[in-house]
Chain A
Amino acid sequence: MRSIWQREIAFFLAVPALVWQVLFLCIPIALVLYTSLHSVTESASWYTLTLAHYQALFTVNHALIIMRSLIFSTLTALLCLTIGYPVAYFIALRVKKWRLILLFLLTLPFWTNFLTQAYAWFFVLERHGLINTVLKMMRIIHEPLLLAHNNFAVLCVMVYCYLPFMILPIYSVLQKVDVHLLEASQDLGATKWQTFTRVTLPLSRIGIQTGLLLVCIPAFGEFVIPMIMGGSRDFYVGSLISHYMLSSGNEHLGAAFTCLSACVLFVVIRLVSWYISSVRNAAVRGK
């Protein structure tokens, strides 16, 4: 009979990670929740809980900010998918010798600091930046386009920064696809488009799903890019939370908004994945 140390060695090895998780994830999250519920009145003791902070959040402006962040993260994810899928497909299935070099080149710009990348976009988008200069030289425009300090710039930089998070999961799934399946599909008379929609796309579903989540969720809470590129005209979820926490010192409201926006995001993702799986189940049953 083996001793308990031998039998449960995996568990004992995992204890430090679990302790770390509890200390640095569970406790802070509980603190956020507690702060969002804690009353700020004079007579309040530490256990006086209230929903007043949430009540203060039920305004049109807060709903608009959450909607804006949702729309922007969805747009970013969809743009990343349309740009990233062909690239992942190309690297995984069309090239052999250049594969590693292309993957390396894909991650190379992201060795520089995230802030540097965001600032680099000013050189491209500003009044006298690259795009305006080139368009002027080609005599397409006469007045410089206003590209920086607006939502277009935010979207541009978000797509730029999150593109690898979309390409890499799709690549890792497509790379494992058996090429013989695609050849068989074409041998059996399918056109290229049919092969793509009936074979390649379903096989890469998991990669697309992972990529969409990896882009959508951080893009929803993003606060650096809107702060730098947006000209601080419109608030997003992340920038409003950092405003509450750091500038106005209203951590109760900030905590309540953090919890609320996290709940909204969770519900939206659950609803979308439930809808997709129900559609998929219906399609499978239909066949």
Chain B
Amino acid sequence: MQTQRVWKEWQFPAFVTAVYLFLYVPVVILMIFSFNRGDSPTYWLGFTTDWYAELFSSSEVYDALTNSIIVAATSVVLSIFFECVLCFLWANEWLRILVALILFRVGGSRDCYSRRIAGYFLCFITSPWYYYAYSWAYIDGFGLCGAYYLRTLQ
């Protein structure tokens, strides 16, 4: 009994360490190979910082960075705003029941409503998110931007 316990005590942190290695090994190797002299992803041909020099001298990188920051900042602000007001709504018992009734037209015990609303939001993840963007591109060219907002909101 005692030996089994000792073995288990040793095994558990080892397993967790292995999982963390699983998470970190690809990223660390990617970082190491960013200093590789060759452009092959598999052979190590010597140390260089040329790729970084090239990266910082290209204007596309700064354009991409600006776009990403704009999209990220606006989605953070908008989703925090909407989520705050939605939480406010859900905190109100009667409005929650009202929404559930409108959405599902069914009765049930009270704790069921919140679960149903959660299901209502969950079911939107089931179809690929970029499709919304695609259908919106027809209408006003809102494009991928809308899809990013949408994904953050979900």
Task: Name A residues whose Cβ lies closer than 8 Å to a Cβ of B.
Answer: 10-11, 13-14, 16-17, 20, 24-25, 28-29, 31-32, 35, 83-84, 86-87, 90-91, 94, 102, 105-106, 109, 112, 116-117, 119-124, 126-130, 160, 163, 213, 217-218, 220-221, 223, 238, 241-242, 245, 251, 255, 258-259, 261-262, 265-266
B41 pairs with A122, CB closer than 8 A: yes
Q: Which residues of A contact B23 (CB under 8 A)?
A: 105-106, 109, 160, 163
A20-B82, A265-B126 as given contacts; A105 in contact with B135, CB under 8 Å: no
* A32 and B127 contacting across the interface, CB-CB below 8 Å: yes
CA distance A241 to B146 in the complex (A): 19
Instruction: Name B's interface SS.
Output: helix
User: In the complex, which residues of chain A have a beta carbon less than 8 angstroms from the beta carbon of B15?
Assistant: 86-87, 90
When the two chains form their complex, are residues A218 and B125 in contact, meaning their CB atoms are under 8 A apart?
yes
Q: How distant is the Cα of A86 from the Cα of B41 in the complex, in angstroms?
A: 34
Interface residues of B (CB under 8 A from A): 12-13, 15-16, 19-20, 22-27, 29-30, 33, 41-43, 81-83, 85-86, 88-89, 91-92, 95, 122-128, 130-132, 134-136, 138, 146, 149-150, 153
Q: Complex: how many Å from CA A28 to CA B140?
A: 12
Contact B136 A28 (CB under 8 A): yes
Whether A16 contacts B25 in the complex (CB less than 8 A), given A11-B89, A221-B127, comes out as: no
Interface centre among A17, A94, A160, A221 (most CB of B within 10 A): A17
30 contacts between A and B (CB under 8 A): A14-B85, A14-B89, A16-B81, A16-B82, A17-B89, A28-B132, A28-B135, A35-B135, A83-B19, A83-B22, A86-B16, A87-B15, A87-B16, A87-B19, A90-B12, A91-B16, A102-B16, A117-B26, A117-B27, A122-B41, A123-B26, A123-B29, A123-B41, A124-B26, A220-B126, A221-B126, A241-B128, A242-B128, A245-B131, A266-B126
Shortest C-beta distance, B120 to chain A (Å), equals 10
Say yes or no: A262 contacts B122, CB within 8 Å. no
Give, as a whole number of angstroms, the nearest-CB distance from A121 to chain B.
5
Chain B positions within 8 Å of A83 at CB level = 19, 22
In the assembled complex, the Cα of A217 lies from the Cα of B119 at a distance in Å of 12
Q: Which 9 A-B pairs have the closest CB atoms?
A: A14-B89, A120-B26, A128-B42, A120-B30, A17-B82, A28-B132, A13-B85, A31-B135, A10-B92
Q: How far is B30's CA from A35's CA once the two chains are assembled, in angstroms?
A: 42
- Which of A13, A84, A127, A258 lies at the interface centre, i.e. has the most chain B CB atoms within 10 A of its CB? A13
> In the complex, which residue of chain A has the Cβ closest to the Cβ of B8?
A192
Q: Quick check: A124 and B42 within 8 Å, CB to CB?
A: no
- Bound complex: CA A28 to CA B124 (Å): 11
Which of the residues B27, B81, B88, B131 comes within 8 Å of A258, measured between beta carbons? B131
How far is B82's CA from A17's CA once the two chains are assembled, in angstroms? 5
Contact B92 A94 (CB under 8 A): no
Q: Which residues of chain A come closer than 8 Å to B26, judged between CB atoms?
A: 117, 120-121, 123-124, 160
Nearest B-chain residue to A132, judged by Cβ: B42
In the complex, chain A residues whose CB is within 8 Å of the CB of B86: 14, 17
A123 touches B30 (CB 8 A): yes
The answer to whether A109 and B135 touch (CB under 8 A), given A10-B89, A123-B41, A238-B128, is no
In the complex, which residues of chain A have a beta carbon less than 8 angstroms from the beta carbon of B126? 217, 220-221, 262, 265-266
Measured CB to CB, the closest approach of chain B to A247, in angstroms, equals: 13
Closest CB in chain B relative to A127 CB, distance in Å: 7
Taking the closest CB of chain B, its distance from the CB of A203, in whole angstroms, is: 18
Contacts of A241 in B (CB 8 A): 128, 131
Q: Is the CB of B88 within 8 A of A120?
A: no
Bound CA–CA A101/B134 (angstroms)? 40
Contact B128 A128 (CB under 8 A): no
